[in-house]
Amino acid sequence: MAGQLQGKIAVVTAAGQGIGRAIAEAFAAEGATVHASDLDLGKLDGLDASKAELDVTDTEAVDAYAAAIGGIDILANVAGFVHHGTVLDCDEKAWDFSFDLNVKSMHRMIRAFLPEMITRAAANGTSGSIVNMSSGASSLKGAPNRYAYGATKAAVIGLTKAVAQDFIRSNIRCNAICPGTIESPSWLDRVEQLGKTVGGTDKAMQLFVDRQPMGRVGKPAEVAALAVYLASDAAAFTTGTAIPIDGGWTL
């Protein structure tokens, strides 16, 4: 069904590649006016969107970005980082960076955009939608060598539920998407790194595929389709959820 987001204004972070780009493209295809940001402005080339360079770890930059855009209907927080290793591989710098980018960036974006989201939802008689990118590796399931990452993505689920609870009567919905392994540039980087230790990229990729119950990794467009649903009025009765989209990995 085309036009699910017609007339809506959306903001998408980390829209330059992978899941973020797929979401920005899907939002635009469904009729939304999209404001796409990324740390690397060049990665936004080709998007049907207003484009901006944005460091979501910079509070002043986020506040200025929100002030420039004004009221929106949809906020998709996608920016994140996958730290590889156990607690013994994670020093304080890595821990702090993971939480700053994966969790506090969402706090910054929500805090900056939420007041005008509430005002716009009230004026239009609709609900605003916040979509946060969590992971199957979170409070849903432990994953090997994802110590800091899993902790941050569990925190995202807690943040999501707190925002959903606090603003449910303000017509603001907040949900988390919890992907499994998704084909993306960052995943391909991890495959390449693993290949150095297991005898090649092809073998590393097969190891990733073999652990998937469906026998394949997911596509960014599949995650984007879920984001469109959560952003749309079809999900008007859905808030505070953490939805796995992982090919059965968390079963």
What CA–CA distance (Å, rounded) separates 222 from 182?
A: 9
Place of tokens 């599949």: 222
State how far the alpha carbon of 227 is from the alpha carbons of 25, 95, 200, 210, in Å: 11, 28, 34, 27
Alpha-carbon distance of 112 to 142, in angstroms, equals 32
- The DSSP bridge pattern shows strands 33-38 and 172-179 to be unpaired
Amino acid residing at 143: A
40 touches 6 (CB < 8 A): no
Nearest to 193, CA basis, from 40, 96, 85: 85
Between CA 145 and CA 140 the distance in angstroms is: 16
Q: Write down the catalytic residue from 65, 147, 149, 229.
A: 149
Examine the residue annotation and report whether 149 is marked as an active-site residue of this protein: yes
Please give the backbone phi and psi of residue 204, each rounded to the nearest 5 degrees, phi first. Answer: -65, -45
Report the run of H or E that residue 227 belongs to, with start and end. helix 220-231
Active-site residues, by number, are 149
